[in-house]
Amino acid sequence: MNEDSLENRVALVVDDHDAVRHALCERIKASFGQFQLREAGTVDEALKIIETERVDIVLMDIRLPGMDGIAGTRVVLERSPHTSVIVISIFDDSSHRSAASRAGAKAYVCKRAISRELIPVIENLMNCEQ
């Protein structure tokens, strides 16, 4: 993917665990150096970011304090329909995947598979938008 096409792209990582959030940001930064990264620990924090700037991709954990990631996905997409949401979770079962899909998530990545699946999923979403 052309680095220039990523200059104005914003990715928002929503996870209540600081170490996980930072690790996800580092993984994205290593693969997409020009991507602008934002972080939030809750859906409410994420919504404040979405209200102030255009966010292209949201990585949304399912288990969050307050509003969970499934409901958060719905609200993010209501307020920012152009955003692509990737749900990330420790759960790797059809009921969670189905709930994420019904909420409007473009992809679902199990946290155990992040090292091999996350970057190709992001690349695919970015290529589909061009």
* Residue 35: CATH number of its domain: 3.40.50.2300
Task: State the burial class of residue 54 (Cβ atoms within 10 Å of its Cβ: 0-12, 13-18, 19+).
Answer: exposed
Identify whether 130 is part of a domain.
no
Which residues form the domain of 70? Answer: 3-123
Identify whether 67 is part of a domain.
yes
pLDDT digits over 65-99, tens only?
A: 999 999 999 999 999 999 999 999 999 999 999 99
Lowest mean pLDDT across 4-8, 83-87, 88-92, 116-120: 4-8
Total tally of structural domains belonging to the chain: 1
**How far is Cα 25 from Cα 47, in angstroms, rounded to an integer?**
18
pTM of the model as a whole: 0.92
Are 20 and 64 a contacting pair, CB within 8 Å? no
Identify whether 128 is part of a domain.
no
